[in-house]
Amino acid sequence: MILAPARHLRRVLSCFAIVVCILLLEVAAHSQALPTATGPGSYTDIGVSGSYFNLNYGQRWVGGGSIYLDANLYHRYGAEIQYQTFRYNQENGVRQTTYLAGPRVSFRDYGFVPYVNLLVGRGDFDFPYGYAKGTYFVYAPGAGLDYDLTKKIKLRLINVQYQEWPQFTFGNLHPYGASVGISLRIW
């Protein structure tokens, strides 16, 4: 029982380390000679969000949180990395955690910014009463709407996501839900 928080902390720290490595690579890429012209819209945001999802395992609605990184690399095209965990309103120890990354396309550069993404990665699932744990492949198409509150702060007004766990132990799992959050522009 005591090992579970330590394992969770290791996962959070490894996600943080991956994000830091990506950010350092971006800094190294920007340390080259400046181009003669730069395109609009390049930025990197790091944010947190709260989520409400139907886990599709016992038809239970649960709450959770996530940490995400949006790197808009060229104009409206970029990537998103997301760590998400559901631990609130769970029953009998059922927990779900995902580590996802993938392409992101936004349709505006400022103000209200609608976007779509397709994230893929790993999902960890803790079965009831601690009887078993599983690790599965996950893909998750999603869409949302961000709002630039200031030049540095962005509100995530809505982010909807439909996850597909095609190799889940008891057949396909289809969690879905929405999140809201806030992010800070770091570049």
Q: What is the pLDDT of residues 33-47, one digit of tens each?
A: 555 445 556 788 999
Q: Output the pLDDT for position 17.
A: 64
Domain ranges of the chain: 3-185
Across residues 1-21, what is the average pLDDT?
Answer: 58
Among the listed ranges 12-26, 40-54, 90-104, 122-136, which one has the minimum average pLDDT value? 12-26
For residues 90 and 133, give the distance between their C-alpha atoms in angstroms, rounded to a whole number.
15
Q: Does 77 have pLDDT greater than 60?
A: yes
User: Global pTM?
Assistant: 0.73
Q: Does 49 have pLDDT greater than 80?
A: yes
Q: Output the pLDDT for position 130.
A: 76
Q: Is 157 left (phi over 0), alpha (psi -120 to 50) or beta?
A: alpha
Please name the fold of domain 3-185: Porin (2.40.160)
Provide the residue count of the chain: 187
Name, in order, each residue with C-beta under 8 angstroms of 143's C-beta and a sequence gap of 6 or more: 114, 115, 116, 117, 159, 160
